[in-house]
Amino acid sequence: MIRIEVGLGERSYPVVVGAGALRPLPELVPRRVGRTAVVTQAGIGVAADTGRPQRTFEIGDGEAAKTLATVEMLCRAWSSWGLTRGDAVIAVGGGVVTDVAGFAAAVYHRGVPVVHVPTTMLGMVDAAIGGKTGVNLPEGKNLVGVFWQPAAVVCDTDTLATLPERERRSGMGEMAKYHFLAEEDLMSLPLDERIAACVRLKADVVARDECEEVGRPRGRAVLNYGHTLAHALETVTRTPGQPDVSHGEAVAVGLVYAAELARRLDRIDDARVEEHYKVVRDYGLPDRLPPLQGVRPVDLVELMARDKKAVEGLTFVLDGSGGPEVVAGVDAAVAEKTLATVAGEGRRAR
């Protein structure tokens, strides 16, 4: 079993990664905890024995379940069961479960401990680590939430066996992003070590910038590498008639786009751009934009300029000699021209 510490002073916690990591769950739940409320979804089927009296609370599937109504439902059900501040919440599932259960735990009785048991690749390398919790509003994703660090995170790779192929691939897109934040070659590592390496990278960033302060070029925002185009692509493909693109696929295209953009701005060389294509392809992920109906490059640039993480004008996380960092004020014409290199068939000849 691999153990990583997220170093946040009093709020530090362990992340354990490996096959069978769930077995020592009773010891990872804080000692003083009496009962545990396990939050999960119907299709997950991962048994988490916390070694204490426990009850399971199911929430719905997908983004539609990430609502304040679900938080209210959970808090009311916990209250009916008599859950107190001496008890804890155990979130067993993907990012939807850990985001919602984490938020509900943060606000129930003004905060009860939560242990995350991520059961998706994306959950293990991203959503369950770092303490961001929250729900969606009709006006947008993740608009309501708080930072609430878990007491522990348990990444049992055995749970991934039942993950649908599409979800696994989507998680790979998130993992691909870490290849460019890492100094070692992640591809050569076995899966558990690779997940642990991603966790370590995220833990380091979170320890530097726990609450994502605005204006830190190498703060938490670097975790958004590849996400500026990805978010724009996800926005346009949500409408009927557009191709179905998973988050990880969108991130994969976003990564090669960010690399091409950094190349155009003379921040990296051709070999580094090539590395981006190689990683994305090795994961079997797309390195081109899908055919979009009636969407012009300028529309994507406009959407990217409206990204909620944008500080001033067009803002990207771009690779450079010191690794990816936040770069504000990118020229819209350059961003638009670069879109052509990741559109259509085949790669631009160099």
Ligand X SMILES: NC(=O)c1ccc[n+]([C@@H]2O[C@H](COP(=O)([O-])OP(=O)(O)OC[C@H]3O[C@@H](n4cnc5c(N)ncnc54)[C@H](O)[C@@H]3O)[C@@H](O)[C@H]2O)c1
Binding site for ligand X (CB under 6 A): 41, 43-44, 46, 61-63, 66, 93-97, 99, 119-120, 122-123, 126-127, 130, 132, 142, 159, 162-163, 167, 170
SS3 state at 151 = coil
Sign of CA dihedral 137, 55, 195, 7: positive
Question: Which tokens sit at 193?
Answer: 């070590």
| β-bridge partners, 14 | 5
Sign of CA dihedral 247, 22, 132, 111: positive
CB of 275 to ligand X, least distance (A): 24
Listing DSSP states for 5-52 in one string gives EE--GGG-EEEEEETTTTTTHHHHS-TT---EEEEEETTT------SS
268 near 262, Cβ under 8 Å?
yes
Is 231 catalytic? The answer is yes
Scanning the chain, the segments in alpha helix (DSSP H) are: 25-28, 68-81, 95-107, 121-122, 165-178, 191-208, 227-237, 247-264, 270-282, 297-305, 332-339
Catalytic residue, candidates 66, 132, 263, 267: 132
27 near 3, Cβ under 8 Å?
no
The Cα–Cα gap between 195 and 122 comes to 10
Is 116 catalytic? The answer is no
Is 213 catalytic? The answer is yes
Q: Which is nearer to ligand X, 64 or 311 (CB)?
A: 64
Catalytic residue, candidates 116, 231, 267, 276: 231
Catalytic residue, candidates 247, 263, 267, 276: 247
Catalytic residue, candidates 58, 174, 249, 260: 174
CB of 185 to ligand X, least distance (A): 24
Is 309 catalytic? The answer is no
CB of 155 to ligand X, least distance (A): 11
Q: Which is nearer to ligand X, 70 or 170 (CB)?
A: 170
Catalytic residue, candidates 213, 278, 296, 348: 213
Q: Which is nearer to ligand X, 66 or 194 (CB)?
A: 66
Q: Which is nearer to ligand X, 131 or 260 (CB)?
A: 131
CB of 333 to ligand X, least distance (A): 31
The Cα–Cα gap between 78 and 73 comes to 9
CB of 182 to ligand X, least distance (A): 18
Is 110 catalytic? The answer is yes
Is 202 catalytic? The answer is yes
Catalytic residue, candidates 66, 136, 169, 224: 224
DSSP conformation class of 340? G
Q: Which is nearer to ligand X, 59 or 335 (CB)?
A: 59
Is 224 catalytic? The answer is yes
| Closest residue to ligand X in the complex (CB) | 95
CB of 34 to ligand X, least distance (A): 27
Nearest to 2 by CA among 153, 176, 202, 140: 153
- Angle among Cα 193, 197, 200 to the nearest 5 degrees reads 135
Is 227 catalytic? The answer is yes
Q: Which is nearer to ligand X, 12 or 162 (CB)?
A: 162
Nearest to 269 by CA among 228, 319, 314, 223: 319
Q: At which residue do the structure tokens 């068939």 appear?
A: 345
E strand or H helix that includes residue 88: strand 88-93
Catalytic residue, candidates 202, 263, 267, 276: 202
CB of 60 to ligand X, least distance (A): 9
Q: Which is nearer to ligand X, 128 or 268 (CB)?
A: 128
The Cα–Cα gap between 9 and 17 comes to 21
* Positions marked active-site: 110, 132, 174, 202, 213, 220, 224, 227, 231, 247
